[in-house]
Structure 1
Amino acid sequence: MEFIAYPDAELMYLALAKQMASELGSFLRRDGRASLCVPGGTTPGPVFDTLSGLDLDWGNVAVFLNDERWVPESSPRSNTRLLRERLLRGPAGAAQLVPLYAPAEQPEEMLNALSSGIAPHLPISVLLLGMGADMHTASLFPGADRLTEALAPEAPILMALRAEAAGEPRITLSAPALKTAFHTHILIKGPEKRAALERAQSLSVTEAPVRAVLDVATVHWTE
């Protein structure tokens, strides 16, 4: 794990957006395409604001979420909605959004269809993750009903998980799918998250699911 502490949030957001754009640009120049996998929540919003305006060949970038709450895009809790509002606008509006939600009562009904949309874009070129104070990342929550399966090397690309802390049912990339990424960044803020990160390093991966990707990640932190 590489740990970078920034003097303020504005500098962190700007530096991270530029680094991710540089990494995406390298893939675009080499392969003609790239994939970007990002979290929901409010923390990455300022990174998305900057990234969306940067000059990249966005038409050849596939963008998809780490995880999604099983709610329609009309819901204020939809990660896809946040993605459209903060990232997929301006120049980045030309990117291809690969969905992680489709209308159905339960996520299990759509796993195969949604997985086949993600599969062509693996391995992930650039992965941005968040981390909760409970040390979850994506929707890999401690205590989730199928966490052990989602962490296993043979796990499928996508899984549906339920956890008390998660609220709605979730659909999430599994640990092995996340670990395909060439570049992995974790974005956290505040002393509580830093303490959780330090605690995670001495716990098992089921107790601290973020450990599944921690060894290969660059962690970006500010107070």
Structure 2
Amino acid sequence: MNFNEYPDREFLFLSLANKIASELADFLRREGKATLCVPGGTTPGPIFDTLSGVDIDWANVTVFLNDERWVPESDARSNTRLLRQRLLVGKAAAATLVPLYAEAPTPEEGVARLAEGIEPHLPISVLLLGMGTDMHTASLFPGADRLEEGLSDKAPLLLPMRADGAGEPRITLTARPLKKALSSHLLITGQDKRDALERAEKLPPIEAPIRAFLPDLSVHWAE
């Protein structure tokens, strides 16, 4: 784990956005395409704001989420809605969004079709993860109904996931494709998240799912 501490959140958000943009540009130069996988929630919003104005070849960048709540984009809790409002605007509007939600009553009914959309864009070029104070990442929650399967090296690409702390049913990328990302970053802010990360280092992944990713992560933190 490579731990990066910043003097304040504004500097963190700007620096990490520039780092991600630089890595995407490198992949575009070398391979002609790149994949960016990002979390939902409000914390990465400022990073999305900066990235949306960066002058790279967005037309050859594919974007998808780490996970999604099983709600339509019209719902205020939709992560896809946040992406459309804050990342896929400006220059980044040219990027291709691969969905993690389909119009079906349950994630179980939509997961196979969604996985077919994700698979051609693997491995992930640049991965940005978030983490909760419960040490979950993506929708790999402690105590979730299919967490053990989601952490397995033989897991499918996507899994439906339900957990007490999750609210709605979720769909999530599993540890297998996330751990194969070519460049991986974790964004956390506040002392409570730093304390949670330190706890996670001493626990097994089944209790602290972020632990499964720590060996290869660049962690970015500010108070």
Alignment TM-score, normalising by the size of structure 1: 0.99
Give the aligned partner of residue 32 of structure 2: 32
Q: Which runs of 5+ in 2 are unaligned?
A: none
Q: Which runs of 5+ in 1 are unaligned?
A: none
Q: What pairs up with 1:43-54 in 2 under 5 angstroms?
A: 43-54=43-54
Once the 2 structures are TM-superposed, how far is the Cα of residue 180 of structure 1 from its aligned partner?
A: 1.3
Give the aligned partner of residue 165 of structure 2: 165
Give the Cα–Cα distance (whole angstroms) in 2 for the partners of residues 85 and 183 of structure 1. 25
**1:129 counterpart letter in structure 2:** L
Once the 2 structures are TM-superposed, how far is the Cα of residue 177 of structure 1 from its aligned partner?
A: 1.0
Q: What pairs up with 1:46-85 in 2 under 5 angstroms?
A: 46-85=46-85
- CA RMSD in angstroms comes to 0.4
CA deviation profile, 1:91-126 (whole Å, cap 9, x unmatched): 000000000001000001111100000001100000
* SS of residue in 1 equivalent to 2:209: coil
Give the aligned partner of residue 114 of structure 1: 114
* SS of residue in 1 equivalent to 2:116: helix
Once the 2 structures are TM-superposed, how far is the Cα of residue 170 of structure 1 from its aligned partner?
A: 0.3
**Identity percentage of aligned residues:** 67
Give the aligned partner of residue 99 of structure 2: 99
Give the Cα–Cα distance (whole angstroms) in 2 for the partners of residues 52 and 75 of structure 1. 22
Paired positions, count? 223
CA deviation profile, 1:30-81 (whole Å, cap 9, x unmatched): 1100000000000000000001100110000000000000000000000000
Give the Cα–Cα distance (whole angstroms) in 1 for the partners of residues 104 and 116 of structure 2. 17
Q: What pairs up with 1:146-157 in 2 under 5 angstroms?
A: 146-157=146-157
- Return structure 1 stretches of 4+ with deviation > 2 angstroms: none
Give the Cα–Cα distance (whole angstroms) in 2 for the partners of residues 206 and 177 of structure 1. 18
Give the aligned partner of residue 127 of structure 1: 127
Give the aligned partner of residue 206 of structure 2: 206
Give the aligned partner of residue 174 of structure 1: 174
Q: What pairs up with 1:177-196 in 2 under 5 angstroms?
A: 177-196=177-196
**2:133 counterpart letter in structure 1:** A
Once the 2 structures are TM-superposed, how far is the Cα of residue 212 of structure 1 from its aligned partner?
A: 1.3
Give the Cα–Cα distance (whole angstroms) in 2 for the partners of residues 189 and 208 of structure 1. 18
CA deviation profile, 1:1-21 (whole Å, cap 9, x unmatched): 000010011100010000000
**1:84 counterpart letter in structure 2:** R
**1:9 counterpart letter in structure 2:** R
**1:122 counterpart letter in structure 2:** L
Once the 2 structures are TM-superposed, how far is the Cα of residue 217 of structure 1 from its aligned partner?
A: 0.4
Give the aligned partner of residue 17 of structure 1: 17
